[in-house]
Amino acid sequence: MRNLAIAMTALFAGGCVSFPPDGGFGTVGEAVKARSGRDAVWVRSDKESDSVRARVRELLAQPLTAGSATQIALLNNPGLQASYAEMGIAEADLVQASRWSGPKFSIGRARRGNEIEYERSVFFDLLGLVTIPLSVKGEEKRFEAAKARAAGESLRVALEARKAYFSAVAAEEAVRYMRQVKEAAEASAELARRMAAVGNWPKLHQAREQIFYAETTAQLSRAMHHRTSARERLTRALGLWGEDLRFALPERLPGLPKSAREIQDLEVQALAQRLDVQGARREAEALASSLGLAKVSRFVNLLELGLHNKSEAPSPDQRGWEIELRIPIFDFGEARTARAEHLYTQAVNRTADVAIRARSEVREAYSAYHTTFELARHYRDEIVPLRKRISEEMLLRYNGMLSSVFELLADSRDAVISVNSYIETLRDFWLAESELQVAMTTGSPGGAGYMAKPASLPGGAAAPAH
């Protein structure tokens, strides 16, 4: 009995899965690095926390860039760190699945008059031991799916931080240009008031200048709130608080690239790279393994081998063995097998649905990316240069006393508004570029809602997008 116990224990120990030193995070870090170019860290000790904190402060010492904002989010976002625990739970389930329950021991003592009887037994769960490889295989698939979800969540947080960064910088620029509009409107309204006071300007024209100034003041307030909101969204994405809230942003958005990216075989690349597609596939494979396990144990719920030793003084010890095979009379496993089959069918259909969505979303995201690029280039190469040329001509006409100061101020307002519209289209391009990265690497993008037509200021001026 002792030799058998030793042999079975050795067999079990050889198949055990141990906890890897990095908790499986190395695969996640590599996937994030390959798709974003940034490092992801799972903080699990005070030493790692101090190292991350020092790195974040180093990045915050300089004005933020899209790259540094992405890196800070990957290092410092507490929600992302919390999501990594799901991977740890899946890892623990995998290790637990590789552990055999071990033998069960029992001992009994009976007395009859002066006679004392001892009965000793040990039982081994043979079915549990035999099915360990199937259980481990299923949990390995689930662990791989958990790692894919962790990588996907990392990329989602990184790209949300990137989008929040571009929105915050654009909001800062919008406030600066709206202040210029307000200053021009204020000067025009004050001049109109003074000229109307001496009878050199009609009351109707004065009222128009005054209402434009009043409404521009309201639009500036909205733009300032939008700046605060965009900055707070960036703060949440980066996981900042306290002194870190004083981070600096650049004055302008990055310039437009020379040309838009031309991506060949977009849908094929998306299916190969997207983590949600990979995760859905692994879930289906894990359920397929579970279905095999359900069929193996369908008619046998318990198979145990028992070794007995019975002693009764003064008689010699009795030794023997028994096999306990529990065969259900009323439960032949149809329900368990049917459930596993339905779960597998569900997973297969969900995988197909994820693939269809991935192909559609990447086409939509690329359309938004290409459209916003063309719009921003149109503003940069056509509208803004034309507006600059008109302003130069208006200044020449004013210097030659061929136009009034009100016409000059009105043209100045229009020029600033055109530049502000270019800022908005440039912001939309960078947001669309981020959405394309999401569609190519991780999950569902938010769509092209940011391309909605902005509201209008009085006189046809475009308002900052909210």
- Specify whether the backbone of 416 is left (phi greater than 0), alpha (psi in -120 to 50) or beta: alpha
At 84-114, the pLDDT tens digits run 888 878 778 777 777 766 677 777 777 776 7
Burial of 193 (0-12, 13-18, 19+ CB in 10 A): middle
Identity of the amino acid at 405: V
Percent of the chain with pLDDT over 90: 12
pLDDT at 301: 46
Residue 114: helix, strand or coil by DSSP? coil
pLDDT at 179: 87
> What is the DSSP-derived secondary structure letter of residue 330?
S
At 117-138, the pLDDT tens digits run 777 676 666 656 666 676 677 6
Question: In this structure, what are the phi and psi dihedrals at residue 102, rounded to the nearest 5 degrees?
Answer: 85, 175
pLDDT at 241: 84
Q: Domain segments of the chain: what residues?
A: 2-451
pLDDT at 140: 76
- Write the CB contacts of 283 (distance below 8 Å, at least 6 apart in sequence): 141, 142, 145, 347, 350, 351
Cis status of the peptide bond prior to 250, with omega within 30 of 0:
no
72, pLDDT greater than 70: yes
Identity of the amino acid at 10: A
At 383-433, the pLDDT tens digits run 888 888 877 777 777 677 776 666 766 777 777 777 778 888 899 999 988
At 199-222, the pLDDT tens digits run 777 788 788 888 888 888 898 999
- Write out the two tokens for 36: 């974003």
**Among 91, 441, 139, which residue's Cα sits nearest to residue 278?**
441
For the beta carbon of residue 264, count every other beta carbon within 10 angstroms.
6
| Mean pLDDT within 151-175 | 90
What is 2-451's CATH topology?
Answer: Outer membrane efflux proteins (OEP) (1.20.1600)
CA distance 351 to 422: 41
Q: What dihedral angle (degrees, nearest 10) is formed by the CA atoms of 345, 350, 355, 359? A: 140
- Write out the two tokens for 149: 């979800």
**Among 252, 178, 233, which residue's Cα sits nearest to residue 413?**
178
**Does the model's pTM come out above 0.75?**
no
At 356-382, the pLDDT tens digits run 777 778 888 888 888 999 999 988 888
